[in-house]
Structure 1
Amino acid sequence: MRNVLIGGLCASLILGLSACNDEANSKAPETGKTATAQAVTKVLGSGIEFANFDKSVRPQDNFYDYVNGTWLKQTEIPADRTSVGAFYDLREKSRDDVKAIIEEVAATANLKPGTDEQKVADLYRSFMDTDTLNKLGVSPLVKEVDAIRAIASKDDLVTYFAKSQVIGGGTPMAFYIDVDAKDSSRYATHIWQYGLSLPEKDYYFNDAERFVNIRKAFVEHIAKMFTLAGFAAPQESAEKIMALETAIAAQHWDVVESRDSTKTYNKYQVKDLPTLAPDINWNAYLTALGADKQGDIIINQPSYIEGLGKLVKDTDLPTWKTYMQWQLLTHFAGQLNDALDNENFAFFAKTLNGQQEQEPRWKRGVATVNNLLGEVVGKVYVKRHFTPEAKDRMEQLVENLRGAYGDSIQELSWMSADTKVAAKDKLAKFNPKIGYPNKWEDYSKLTIAADDLIGNAMRASQVEHQRDLEKLGAQIDRDEWHMTPQTVNAYYNPTMNEIVFPAAILQPPFFNMQADDAVNYGGIGAVIGHEMGHGFDDQGAKFDGEGNMRDWWTEQDLKEFSDRGTALIAQYDGYQVFDDLHVNGGLTLGENIGDLSGVTIAYRAYKKSLNGKEAPVIDGLTGDQRFFIGFTQIWRAKIKEESLRNRVATDPHSPAEFRALGALSNMPQFYTTFGVKSGDAMYVAPEKRVKIW
């Protein structure tokens, strides 16, 4: 499905003053306060994790390794994970916190049916009860398998594409409802390309040995899943599914094209859809979705839908039915018996991503509750883990960043006065959301049973689909969140012009209530700036302050902006992840602009917050040093090679190391702070450094 949400960052244990090394403490200046004064004054630490430093690395050569090198050398990735680091470890903490909430609710006797508490407890129980799941086997899917086997025509097939999506199964085209990018006062229906099991279209065509082996393993995996499920002709079916998915992949747009908001906005009148794909019964499809009353629809990748229509016509019905059985089985495999669950893990987690062991079942149970009843547990989470003081401080930081961004726009030498007015208008209309929603999601229409995990998942998908349908023709819901409070992430939504920071990310090392402002501006300040930066990245800059996609740039300003983006693409294209793999600068452009804008504006806001005064030296570090270290330590991460290769192919974020190095290598203030000179590995000649905002 299309994910319109952007951003993503995080955190782990912070070392305060008492935990700093002796060398750092010996450099700390005397405060000059009396013991009595110190007793009543809150002393803020640096927030710097000194134990992670590798002093054998010169900061001028690789600042990421200098700040995180010892941690990188000493840290092993657990067998049940593919990554560790600041972001990922904070996710683990959030999961522990949510587990405590769920288990407390689940331990309560005689919960009233239909209450949120009963739903949380029984959903968790339905996932944890493996005895029942093993007894049930694939029987929870029998009704849908029978429906697929009953498909008697291509019109029936297209109708089932819609029905499959409504219950949470697979489909070759994904229907969704979102704000109309060119009319942000209304919701519109959309269709996005879908239907592949492997991460991206290149996996079906790349002739490198790794991809050849993945394709071979994938066919073997399908055959094993069909055998375990008792489906007919496992090997023959696996080969047919692979062939059809390859044909579907051939029609897909690549990941760079698909992130272009201009190219993916193609509004059609529903009555004209037969001219695009005459072999798809559009009336049957939209009626099955409950969206047949809409006059128009946005087709994100028209050539894909055109190609899919030809595949519907030219591929025999039995093959399509086999493919739809596979889509049903693979989408629900993790909620079936141990044998299917383990085989699903063996391919998608182990073979594709290098994860050696399944996570403990409770972790996946927590994820299930978060996915289906997220805001129910979110209410309790924020009461326990997000203080009013933290929200107040975040609101102040956001406004400080907004002010700094406005100053930076005003001072841009490459932007004309007219474009600056429009840019500052957009900035002023940013809507920040911090911590948790003003209005919580209503789950009253969702029925949850302790002995029906698949049914719970299907009913949740149906309720969510109906909730989306009810948006059509209604006012835009500006209170809606697309992440739960316990999610360690953040996002910018261009059609709402909003920046959103869930409570769970507002913890160290991103946001440290016990630390001096320098590290907070380097951490959460850069996150805030990053999300604001998405409003002015290569795609966000196409939207105005009202959330409408329109051209608000002068021709010359747009050329200047585009030229800077082209330079940033070239910079990141040059970063080598492995001997045979580089960063895709085109795919990661938006996030790279966000990172560069974020740290640049956060630094400006930090300096502005000092009101002309010198920052105190804490733990032997100046304020500027703490700022840049604070920024770099949030990107601390270690990822399995298999997983990292997949991410480089599909993830619009650069690998963590280059998110730090790429942004800092363009900042003159970093050069001054750490004495970076020509000949140092991080040195980039001034005329080649990229400055956008």
Structure 2
Amino acid sequence: MKHLPTLTRAAAVASVLALAGCAASNTAGTASASAPAAPNAATASASTEPEIKGRSINPADIDNSVSPCEDFFQYSGGVWLKNNPIPSYASSWGPRNLLQDRNQALMRQILEEAAGNKSAAKGTNLQKVGDFYASAMDTAAIEAAGLKYLQPELARIGSIKDLKGLQSAMARQKMLQVGSYFRAGVEIDDKNSTQYIVGMNQGGLTLPDRDYYLKDDARSKNIREAYRTYLRNMFKLLGDNEATAAQNATAVERIETRLAKASRTRVELRNPEANYNKMTVAAAAKRYPNLDLPRLLSELQLSAAKEVNVGQPAFFDELNATLKAEPLGDQKTYLRWHLVRSVAGALPKAYTDETFRFSQVLGGAKTQTVRWKRMLASTDATLGEAFGELYVAKAFSPQAKAKALEMVNNIKASMADHIRSNTWMSEPTKQEALKKLNALRVKIGYPDVWKDYSALTISRESYLKNVLAAREWEYKDNAQKLGKPIDRNEWGMTPPTVNAYYNPPMNEIVFPAGYLQPPFFDPEADDAVNYGAIGGVIGHEITHGFDDQGRQYDSQGNLRDWWTKEDADEFTKRAAVVGRQYDAFSPLDSVHVNGKLTMGENLADFAGLTVVYGALQKQLQQKYGSNPRPKIDGFTPEQRFFLAWAQLRRTNIRAEALRQQILTDPHSPGQYRTIGPLMNMPQFYEAFGCQEGQKMVRAQADRAKIW
């Protein structure tokens, strides 16, 4: 996963809780024509070798009716896929979900103990976490309150009389992270990574992507019709009659469609240079007078800003026009919609049910996730480090952290080897690449310095009140960074999160404790499994620093071109091969993976796996030298490495969710994350004895080779 935008965690999770329904030159020759057939569980039992049982990989999950050289996705986990259908409340299902289920059981225990402790000292993290979760689970109080705790914000919108009032309401919604019109917050200056800057970016949409408003295929039209129903029904819950609700729904869709037409595509947003448009506040105020930027920044507690980075200037041109052209009443309706939509998970059941019904159209889930899981996610998103402190005390050992750090160092060393031995990169570019690799920061498990929540008041009075207070606190916590030194201790994910990320302006990789659990990471498992599983993720995140986006940032996290023109051209040419390969993958009729949208993740998968394979070979050489390497469960270390990679990406996914993923997610579907890199890797062919002509073996001329 790539670096996280500012001010998204709590607001994004809270706004979708009612929906509930990255992570991740060749060193081996080509496969020998006389290579033996791939072993499997059946042949292993007939072997005269002593049988060694392993951890994390279950041979019973393997589909031996399929050749690993024809379809490694099906071979590596076909039986598992058959035996693990998607639960009714989910849109997809894979090993990450199983880890999350185990993780959630521990998190629930922590939260229920905290909620049951009514004598916790006021102001402590324990009190805040316990009271937040208790209020979230108190459905009787939520139903009884109705919109009581939202009325002040609704009244604020209702009292708008003119453009100035609209601008003040926009500032208030930014502070509450509602998501209307655009996104704004304090972020690291991409071209001066030692300072913060105010960033402004396109936003204001409810549907997952601009294309949902603009495409005319049957599915897009059906989604828009379902969206209109959702809008009308939510407005009726707010007290509008049928005719007024329909009129208001039309107004919201019209305004959002204007913003969608002006928005950049997800592929266009992958260009960091195009998203860097620093302006003085005075210049931006002149270009976008209807935003009244000086006043807006003042109300956002950012009046010290002298410059802003306007990510997508043309979008703000249209927003500036929209603020003047659209009737004030319709814009008040738009603000009311985004406020209510963003807190639907904290409102009475009728609101969450209506939101879930719409989510079914997008993702295909059959039933809603149970409340405790939704409220657990809300607590984690809202009080992530207060909760995380309680979590890591029970879930993450110092030994696990030490083992993970050792693996990171080994994989970094392998990456350095690949840079030095690269055949197409010139020496000046290699030196810059090594400089960047050496400067890479690594964060494992949990922050060295925990967030201070002392300014945030949480009680058992109202879940919605807590949500709004926490959002405002998080916004102010972000805003106060302007003008201060960069906070190198900050994390963009909470400790229990089952994910990881690379952050280009910080040049850092971050692995929360939640991810460092079996089957992704098991300190007791053999090296081949750990390197294929969590090692593959580590390599993925490290090589994000050298993918089509990450490579544009230097060792200090500055957006700066440190490549010679010849090297950059060669990289682009080699990356384009990967893009074409993924463009050809088609999981559904007439639906193809977007090789440009998924480029960064695909490059990180391929490069990361190549680099980690080299690290494993060094580890095995250290351990066994020239002695035979024992088989485990009948598989060589190399085979277990590739099986571990594949088994963590096996996924059952509903057609609706798959279509949404293809359109909006920079990650390719699991089956192509599994086979895409391997089809280019002679190391894989050799491990399983694959031959030219088999589906997992690309013709020599069609193979990609980068590191």
Q: Place the TM-score, normalised by the shorter chain, in its bin.
A: over 0.9
Name the CA distance, whole Å, in 1 between partners of 2:459 and 2:69: 58
Query: Does the CA contact (< 8 Å) of 1:46 and 1:626 recur in 2?
Result: no
Query: Does the CA contact (< 8 Å) of 2:120 and 2:127 recur in 1?
Result: yes
Name the CA distance, whole Å, in 1 between partners of 2:260 and 2:667: 23
1:338 aligns with 2:363: no
Query: 1:145 Cα shift?
Result: 1.1
1:240 aligns with 2:251: yes
1:4-15 alignment to 2 at 5 Å? 4=5, 7-8=22-23
Query: Does the CA contact (< 8 Å) of 1:353 and 1:642 recur in 2?
Result: yes
CA gap 1:274/1:474 in 2 versus in 1, 3 angstroms: closer
Name the CA distance, whole Å, in 1 between partners of 2:89 and 2:278: 44
Query: 1:466 Cα shift?
Result: 1.2
Give the equivalent residue in structure 2 for 1:102. Answer: 111
Query: Does the CA contact (< 8 Å) of 1:44 and 1:515 recur in 2?
Result: no
The superposition leaves residues 46-94 of structure 1 with CA deviations (integer Å, 9 ceiling, x where unpaired) of: 5322121111111111101100111112221111111211112212222
Whichever residue aligns with residue 395 of structure 1, its letter is L
The superposition leaves residues 99-144 of structure 1 with CA deviations (integer Å, 9 ceiling, x where unpaired) of: 1101111222422222211111111111111111111112221111
Whichever residue aligns with residue 646 of structure 2, its letter is T
1:66 aligns with 2:67: no
Of 551, 562, 576, which residue of structure 1 is paired with 2:586? 576
Of 477, 487, 511, which residue of structure 2 is paired with 1:501? 511
SS of 1:610's equivalent in the other structure is: helix
1:623 aligns with 2:637: yes
Name the CA distance, whole Å, in 2 between partners of 1:657 and 1:579: 16
Whichever residue aligns with residue 335 of structure 1, its letter is A
CA gap 1:137/1:46 in 2 versus in 1, 3 angstroms: closer
Name the CA distance, whole Å, in 1 between partners of 2:568 and 2:485: 33
Q: 511-520 or 590-599: which moved more?
A: 511-520
Name the CA distance, whole Å, in 2 between partners of 1:492 and 1:3: 9
1:39-54 alignment to 2 at 5 Å? 45=54, 47-54=56-63
- What TM-score does the superposition give when structure 2 sets the normalisation length? 0.92
1:156 aligns with 2:171: no
Give the equivalent residue in structure 1 for 2:12. Answer: none
Whichever residue aligns with residue 30 of structure 1, its letter is P
Of 657, 672, 676, which residue of structure 2 is paired with 1:658? 672
The superposition leaves residues 400-443 of structure 1 with CA deviations (integer Å, 9 ceiling, x where unpaired) of: 00100000000111000110000001001111111111111111
Whichever residue aligns with residue 664 of structure 2, its letter is T
Give the equivalent residue in structure 2 for 1:647. Answer: 661
Query: 1:97 Cα shift?
Result: 1.3
Q: 537-546 or 378-387: which moved more?
A: 378-387
Residues matched between the structures, number: 671
Whichever residue aligns with residue 8 of structure 1, its letter is A
Give the equivalent residue in structure 2 for 1:321. Answer: 332
Structure with larger RCO (C-alpha < 8 A, sep 6+): 2
Query: 1:379 Cα shift?
Result: 1.5
Query: Unpaired runs of 5+ in structure 1?
Result: 10-19, 32-42
SS of 1:57's equivalent in the other structure is: coil
Name the CA distance, whole Å, in 1 between partners of 2:258 and 2:562: 40
Whichever residue aligns with residue 567 of structure 2, its letter is D
The superposition leaves residues 178-228 of structure 1 with CA deviations (integer Å, 9 ceiling, x where unpaired) of: 111110100111011111010101101111111111111111111100111
1:431 aligns with 2:432: no
Give the equivalent residue in structure 1 for 2:238. Answer: 229
SS of 1:582's equivalent in the other structure is: coil
Whichever residue aligns with residue 150 of structure 1, its letter is S
Of 441, 455, 463, which residue of structure 1 is paired with 2:465? 455
Give the equivalent residue in structure 1 for 2:400. Answer: 390
Of 288, 292, 301, which residue of structure 2 is paired with 1:290? 301
Query: 1:295 Cα shift?
Result: 0.5
Of 521, 524, 547, which residue of structure 1 is paired with 2:557? 547
Give the equivalent residue in structure 1 for 2:690. Answer: 676
1:160-559 alignment to 2 at 5 Å? 160-231=169-240, 233-347=244-358, 349-559=359-569
Whichever residue aligns with residue 190 of structure 1, its letter is G
Whichever residue aligns with residue 240 of structure 1, its letter is A
Name the CA distance, whole Å, in 1 between partners of 2:491 and 2:332: 37
Of 143, 146, 155, which residue of structure 1 is paired with 2:155? 146
CA gap 1:127/1:268 in 2 versus in 1, 3 angstroms: same
Query: Does the CA contact (< 8 Å) of 1:181 and 1:548 recur in 2?
Result: yes
Query: 1:284 Cα shift?
Result: 2.2
SS of 2:492's equivalent in the other structure is: coil
Query: 1:278 Cα shift?
Result: 2.7
1:17-56 alignment to 2 at 5 Å? 24-27=44-47, 29-30=49-50, 45=54, 47-56=56-65
Whichever residue aligns with residue 239 of structure 1, its letter is T
Query: Does the CA contact (< 8 Å) of 1:4 and 1:493 recur in 2?
Result: no
Whichever residue aligns with residue 403 of structure 1, its letter is A
The superposition leaves residues 18-62 of structure 1 with CA deviations (integer Å, 9 ceiling, x where unpaired) of: xx967545537338xxxxxxxxxxx87253221211111111111
Name the CA distance, whole Å, in 1 between partners of 2:331 and 2:468: 22
Query: Unpaired runs of 5+ in structure 2?
Result: 10-21, 25-39
Query: 1:493 Cα shift?
Result: 0.6
1:692 aligns with 2:706: yes
Name the CA distance, whole Å, in 1 between partners of 2:3 and 2:180: 13
Name the CA distance, whole Å, in 2 between partners of 1:135 and 1:382: 36
Greater than 4 Å deviation, 4+ residue runs: 20-23
Could you say what the CA RMSD is over the residues aligned between the two structures, in angstroms? 1.8
CA gap 1:585/1:28 in 2 versus in 1, 3 angstroms: farther
Identity percentage of aligned residues: 40
Give the equivalent residue in structure 2 for 1:567. Answer: 577
Name the CA distance, whole Å, in 2 between partners of 1:265 and 1:168: 22
Name the CA distance, whole Å, in 1 between partners of 2:180 and 2:166: 10
1:3 aligns with 2:41: no
CA gap 1:46/1:136 in 2 versus in 1, 3 angstroms: closer
Name the CA distance, whole Å, in 1 between partners of 2:220 and 2:50: 60
Whichever residue aligns with residue 606 of structure 1, its letter is L
Query: Does the CA contact (< 8 Å) of 1:44 and 1:514 recur in 2?
Result: no
Whichever residue aligns with residue 644 of structure 1, its letter is L
SS of 1:174's equivalent in the other structure is: strand
Name the CA distance, whole Å, in 2 between partners of 1:417 and 1:360: 56
Name the CA distance, whole Å, in 2 between partners of 1:24 and 1:641: 37
Query: Does the CA contact (< 8 Å) of 1:46 and 1:619 recur in 2?
Result: no
The superposition leaves residues 543-572 of structure 1 with CA deviations (integer Å, 9 ceiling, x where unpaired) of: 111111101101100000011111111111
Query: Does the CA contact (< 8 Å) of 2:185 and 2:479 recur in 1?
Result: no
Name the CA distance, whole Å, in 1 between partners of 2:179 and 2:517: 36
Give the equivalent residue in structure 2 for 1:13. Answer: none
The superposition leaves residues 262-290 of structure 1 with CA deviations (integer Å, 9 ceiling, x where unpaired) of: 11011011000134323321122111211
Name the CA distance, whole Å, in 1 between partners of 2:429 and 2:70: 38
Give the equivalent residue in structure 1 for 2:122. Answer: 113
CA gap 1:58/1:309 in 2 versus in 1, 3 angstroms: same
Q: 408-417 or 385-394: which moved more?
A: 385-394
- What TM-score does the superposition give when structure 1 sets the normalisation length? 0.94
Query: 1:159 Cα shift?
Result: 2.1
Give the equivalent residue in structure 1 for 2:37. Answer: none
